[in-house]
A and B are shown apart, each in its own frame.
Chain A
Amino acid sequence: MSTSKALRQPVTLRMLSASFLTFWCLLAAFPIVWIAVMSVKAPLDAFASNPFDVILGPITKAQGRGLTVLDIAVLLIGLWLAVRVAMRVLPGLAARYSPPGFLALGWVVVILGYGIALFLLGFVVLPPVLGAINAALGLDPLIGLTTQHYHSVWVKNAFWKNFVNSAVVTTGVVTISLTVGTLAGYGLARSGSNLAFWLLIAALIFRALPHSVLVAGYLPIFINSAEILRPILGENAPTLYGQPLAVIAVLVSINQPFTIWMLRSFFQSIPAELDEAARVDGCTHFQAFRRVIMPVMWPGVITTGLFSFLLAYNDFLVTSLLLDQSDMTMVPAIAGYFNRETTMTDQVEAIAAAVSITAPLFLLVMIFQRQIVSGLTAGAVKG
């Protein structure tokens, strides 16, 4: 874009804006990067008062755990490659190889596969290979680094169970809320009736409700549901409290107002002539929706799915109140570390758990940055 001379800015202003942006980027990234650094250090290093001790980790290094120059080089190149692949190659791969009509499934497979491949490459294949090369070259560690906290969090404290619960709840919420939401979003976008308008306003008010208000309504019913449902369902009436399925239903409903608003604005951007043409060719409304509209709706559906994912994955309040200790998802499970956070090792383990929770989100932003931005914008277009 060429800037006309009149619009060109004075140097001071440009400097000011650039330095402000640098400052903001540092501010945005610093807490996250810092806890990632802390999580791979021995406790004494992680809470050292000198920041360089935290970064270099002399005590961790003294314990014989560290990275050599070669390791660091491989790590940096690997990270760069991983980002490149995630941003450039993956979207094409998902689009090309997923069967038509199952693009969402293709995305899920590609992301899961990519995550597992990165994990295997980074934690199973590379360490022994690099270890052998380092030993052969006689390189000494330069920076202290240890993965012992991750090991104790995931293996010893059975964090993988919470991960599985999170995966179940999140997958359920995303699938159901998209299925129900696309139908409703399409109906609302194509109906100009007053009823549709009032439904949308009601949804807006529902979105404003604090979640604790709703949970106060569920809790007594869910705990006593076995007794309430017994006259209808007989002896095997379920207690809804502690059921992941009940939590999925609750999260889907809480998410519905936002989902239908967003999908509605996406559907409105698709010209109505398209489904009218399909209707003329003899499709029913539903067939037109499935055969004609859905194939061009995938960008909108993926974007909305991302936001449903974020809501379900990040939720603390609903899951911590409606699930038992035994089938907690990851985010409320980290509260368990608060109560034990007495020694420094416990604290670093809590940090490692926090970083573990953040890692999938990081991957998500990397792959879907464009969709997130377009989704936020689409939400804003229609207020």
Chain B
Amino acid sequence: MRFKTFACFVGPSLLLMVLFIAVPLVSVFIQSFHVTQPVIERIETERCTAGFLEQQCSTEIKNVPVLDERGSIVTTTRFVGLENYRAVVRPDSVQAAISSWNWPALMAIDFWKALRFTLSFTLITLPLVIGLGLTIALAVNNTTRSIRGPVIFVSLLPYIITPVIGALSIRWLFVGDGILTQAMEAWSGRQISMFAQGWTIELLMLFYRVWHVAPFAFVIFYAGLQTMNRDAIEAAMMDGASRFERLRYVIIPHLMPLIFFVSLIHLMDAYRVFEEVVGFRSQAHVISLQWLTYDLLQPDDAGNRAVSRASASAMLTMIGIVILLVPLLRKSWRDHKGVR
């Protein structure tokens, strides 16, 4: 295929990606070093009211935003260096917290709180998703053919459901005197409220994410099991491999590329954790990095959006995912070179 035809085919898609992914990235990068503020001028006004014998006058100094001829507020943008990053990371508070070994003080800063949750969330769900997905795939592979269809149908439901709704549906089971909270209270004989402290919410979030993504891992592993070579298993049996050894040394190595693929996708998606915070309404206790940016972008009571600080937090979020992905990308690069 000549370069020109290739360009014609790929052009529209590339244009969209450049316009809506690459350019915004650059603009976020630039924004994160600047602050946009309305131009404020001080106006001295003298107000006089009629009084007995003489007028009573008072002068008042007001800060008023400057308006242009269209009546909209004039803004200036100035370069502030790393100030936005400092406002997000708060290095001085971090230093104080670390030097006094004060973990709660460190966790009181939004960014570090979000980072702690996002990383632990990503790394804890990863093995759970792969383990559960593999177990379901092996179990489905074990059953008779006739019930596989319905089982796959039911299994796909958690994966296909809107994430916010999925989180909400689990929340409604536990919120207040929800049906499962009642059950746990009856079983343990204690008053339980799942949404009053951080760690229970976090448990529910972990549960939700595993419930949501395990079907995806299951379908892929199940497809991998279908291409499994029976001769290899039978040969392993001839050599006297036990059931567990066959799983460990024959089946899992066969599925390894798929496990790698699922890990890569899951790492990307779990790092973006956001819908759980919205669905479980956990912002008072648990927040994630993406939610932090989202919150800064939401207009506050005065209608202002903290775009500069949001850009700084967005850049930091991005650096995090790049660091997480580097080992995986390096591995796929080595594979790519090895194939050649």
Contacts and interface: CB of A to CB of B under 8 A. Distances in A.
Contacts of A184: 9-10, 12-14
Interface string B12-56: 111011011101110110010000100000000000000000000
Interface string B260-284: 1110100010011011001001000
Interface string B153-172: 11111101111111011101
Interface string A200-231: 00111111111111111111110000000000
A49 B182 CA distance: 6
Nearest to B138: A17
Given A29-B157, A35-B169, A38-B172, A183 B9 contact: yes
A195 B158 CA distance: 38
Contact of A351 (B9, B172, B243, B272): B172
A150 interface: no
B252 interface: no
B177 interface: yes
Contact of B139 (A17, A220, A286, A334): A17
A9 B139 CA distance: 12
A219 B220 contact: no
Contacts of A191: 1, 6
B172 A20 contact: no
A68 interface: no
Interface string A14-58: 100110110011011101101100100000000101010010000
Interface of B: 1, 3, 5-6, 8-10, 12-14, 16-17, 19-21, 23-25, 27-28, 31, 36, 135-136, 138-140, 142-143, 145, 149, 151-158, 160-166, 168-170, 172-173, 176-179, 182, 211, 215-216, 219-220, 223-224, 233-234, 237, 243, 257-258, 260-262, 264, 268, 271-272, 274-275, 278, 281, 289-290, 293-294, 297-298, 305, 307, 310-311, 314-315, 317-318, 321-322, 325, 329, 332
Nearest to B289: A210
B170 A31 contact: yes
A216 B298 CA distance: 10
27 contacts: A1-B145, A4-B234, A49-B179, A183-B13, A207-B268, A208-B325, A210-B290, A212-B290, A212-B317, A214-B20, A215-B297, A216-B24, A216-B310, A221-B24, A249-B20, A252-B16, A285-B1, A316-B275, A317-B274, A321-B294, A350-B168, A351-B172, A354-B169, A357-B162, A373-B152, A377-B220, A383-B261
B178 to A, nearest CB: 8
A111 interface: no
Contacts of A278: none
A216 B223 CA distance: 38
Contact of A316 (B1, B28, B161, B163): B163
B6 A196 contact: yes
B27 A221 contact: yes
Given A338-B281, A376-B219, 9 more contacts: A25-B155, A29-B154, A210-B293, A214-B25, A220-B307, A260-B13, A286-B8, A317-B290, A383-B261
A376 B222 CA distance: 11
B169 A31 contact: yes
A362 B155 CA distance: 12
For chain A, what secondary structure do more than half of its interface residues adopt (helix, strand, loop), or is it mixed? Answer: helix
Contacts of A347: 172
Nearest to B32: A216
Interface stretch (A91-99, A121-129, A364-372): A364-372
Contacts of A196: 6, 10
Nearest to B153: A369
Contact of B23 (A27, A187, A217, A365): A217
Nearest to B186: A49
Interface residues of A, number: 97
Contact of A219 (B25, B173, B297): B297
Nearest to B30: A217
Contacts of B17: 202-203, 206, 253, 256-257
A321 B314 contact: no
A199 interface: yes
Given A191-B6, A257-B17, A317-B274, A213 B28 contact: yes
A219 B290 CA distance: 15
A213 B164 contact: no
A285 B4 CA distance: 11
